[in-house]
């Protein structure tokens, strides 16, 4: 409510603000804690991997792909328990990052040969 309060003062019928309020009211406290923990840990791990990839550490490419595959497996598991469009979007993003990481890894490996 805090994030949408200003928007609702300007326009009480704001579609996006009301959408977020309706969605958030369905989350239990434990779901909110889990979501926050998962997204923060997911982000921290991805930032660390991105730094390693930016430094072109060759061993980091397979590691990044493995970590993202583990995230995808877990996200699919969570989706079977509680279907969520956000999990589908996050999984699709992770798949795209895996593909891009693999392409970059093969490009760098061929340059080193």
- What are the tens digits of pLDDT across the range 102-112? 999 999 999 88
With beta carbons less than 8 A apart as the criterion, state whether 99 and 72 touch: no
Please spell the DSSP secondary structure of the chain, one letter per residue: -TTTHHHHHH-TT-HHHHHHHHHHTT--HHHHHHHHHHHHHHHHHHHHHHHHHHTT-TTHHHHHHHHHHHHHHHHHHHHHHS--HHHHHHHHHHHHHHHHHHHHHHHHHHHH-
Q: The whole model's pTM is what?
A: 0.70
The per-residue pLDDT for 93 is 93
The per-residue pLDDT for 5 is 65
Domain boundaries, the chain: 5-112
pLDDT: is 85 or 9 the higher one? 85
- What are the tens digits of pLDDT across the range 57-79? 999 999 999 999 999 999 999 89
For the chain, the average pLDDT equals 86
């Amino acid at each position: 409510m805090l994030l949408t309060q200003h928007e609702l003062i300007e326009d009480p019928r704001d579609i996006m603000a009301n959408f977020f309020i309706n969605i958030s009211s369905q989350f239990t406290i434990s779901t909110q804690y889990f979501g926050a923990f998962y997204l923060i840990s997911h982000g921290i791990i991805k930032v660390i991997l991105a730094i390693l990839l930016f430094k072109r550490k060759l061993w980091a490419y397979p590691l990044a792909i493995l970590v993202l595959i583990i995230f995808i497996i877990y996200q699919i598991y969570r989706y079977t328990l509680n279907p969520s469009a956000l999990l589908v979007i996050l999984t699709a993003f992770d798949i795209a990052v895996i593909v891009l990481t693999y392409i970059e890894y093969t490009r760098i490996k061929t340059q080193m040969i």
